């Protein structure tokens, strides 16, 4: 991609931050959406839940990327926090999509985050982008999240939905909590360990998003997961193997439910998701295997 002006919402998050660093390193001009008064031309004020975006600040942007949203694993799922999870994604996306659509010269692509939670519980069944949405809170949120981008699509802006899996990284997300436990020798399987985890290395997550940006023929949903999902038991073994730590501990499902409440369903649930459309588009993973993904995350710090 030629040097471009790229607007990024969620630039302080795990994925958004890594994406910004990658873009800046390659000479792109990055405009960050911030929830305070903008300080200079490289910031744009917005209030996702208040559905406000200073659209004028997006003028001249070739690409708009929205990776904003309240953390799914950051708090217990009280009714109030579930509303925040939903509103931070759905209302924010609607505001940004409307701002994009209002521009005299809209960007050439709108990349709007999504998640494999859209498929709900899948058990051992392999699912890809042709699989319809599943049931449950996260599935419903993901459906609304993607639908909220309609104004950009209706304005003729190419719109892409990276449906992200579990990102293997030490600096945030679910894996950010796992690394300290395993390094302390306290890691172990969750529940019976048979549930499938569809993971992706942070490096590959960023590379995949940039691949979706660069290829003008790509639109719609793309699963951002490694080619071969593994069970929690297999991933637990890999963590112990790579970090040279025992993995004898196990957290029983009833304990997880007592501690995490409704969120435990996300931890104990099984999603065997494959990146069919991403592979068909020619993308190649740098860290397709779990051992290499863990090593890359461990080295990155």
What are 175's two structure tokens? 């894996």
Length of the chain: 301
> Number of folded domains in the chain?
1
Q: Which domain holds residue 72?
A: 5-300
Which of 59-63, 127-131, 206-210, 267-271 comes out lowest in average pLDDT?
A: 267-271
* pLDDT for 16 beyond 70: yes
Q: Using CA atoms, how far apart are residues 28 and 2, in angstroms rounded to an integer?
A: 8
pLDDT tens-digit series, residues 22-54 = 999 999 999 999 999 999 889 999 999 999 999
Spatial contact of 244 and 181, defined as CB atoms under 8 Å apart: no
Q: Please give the average per-residue pLDDT across 77-84, as a whole number.
A: 91
Which of 49-63, 201-215, 217-231, 255-269 comes out lowest in average pLDDT?
A: 255-269
Q: Any alpha helices (H) in 130-252, and if so which ranges?
A: 137-147, 150-154, 173-183, 202-214, 232-243
pLDDT tens-digit series, residues 171-224 = 888 788 788 888 888 788 888 889 999 999 999 999 999 999 999 999 999 999
- Place 301 in a pLDDT band, splitting at 50, 70 and 90: low
The CB-based long-range contact list for 235-241 (8 Å cut-off, 24+ gap) reads 235/197, 235/199, 235/290, 236/187, 236/188, 236/189, 236/190, 236/193, 238/290, 238/291, 238/294, 239/178, 239/182, 239/187, 239/294, 240/182, 240/187, 241/291
Global pTM?
0.94
**CATH code, domain carrying 247:** 3.40.50.720
């Amino acid at each position: 991609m030629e040097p471009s002006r790229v607007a990024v919402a969620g630039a302080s998050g795990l994925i958004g931050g890594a994406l910004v660093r990658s873009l800046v390193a390659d000479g792109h001009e990055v405009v960050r959406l911030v929830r305070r008064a903008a300080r200079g031309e490289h910031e744009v004020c917005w209030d996702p839940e208040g559905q406000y975006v200073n659209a004028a600040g997006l003028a001249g942007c070739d690409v708009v990327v929205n990776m904003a949203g309240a953390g799914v694993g950051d708090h217990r799922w009280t009714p109030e926090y579930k509303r925040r999870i939903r509103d931070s994604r759905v209302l924010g996306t609607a505001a940004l999509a409307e701002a994009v659509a209002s521009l005299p010269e809209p960007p050439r692509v709108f990349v709007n985050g999504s998640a494999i939670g859209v498929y709900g519980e899948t058990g051992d069944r392999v699912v890809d982008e042709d699989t319809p949405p599943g049931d449950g809170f996260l599935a419903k949120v993901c459906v609304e999240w993607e639908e909220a981008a309609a104004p950009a699509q209706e304005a003729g802006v190419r719109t892409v939905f990276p449906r992200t899996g579990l990102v293997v990284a030490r600096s945030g997300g679910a894996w950010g909590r796992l690394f300290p436990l395993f390094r302390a020798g306290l890691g172990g399987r969750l529940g019976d360990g048979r549930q499938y985890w569809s993971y992706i290395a942070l490096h590959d997550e960023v590379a995949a998003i940039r691949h979706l940006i660069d290829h003008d023929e790509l639109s719609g949903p793309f699963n951002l997961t490694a080619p071969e999902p593994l069970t929690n038991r297999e991933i637990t073994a890999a963590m112990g193997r790579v970090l040279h730590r025992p993995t004898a501990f196990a957290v029983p499902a009833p304990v997880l439910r007592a501690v995490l409440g409704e969120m435990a369903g996300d931890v104990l649930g099984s999603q065997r998701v494959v990146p069919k459309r991403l592979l068909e588009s020619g993308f190649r993973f740098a860290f397709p295997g779990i051992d290499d993904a863990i090593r890359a995350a461990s080295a990155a710090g």
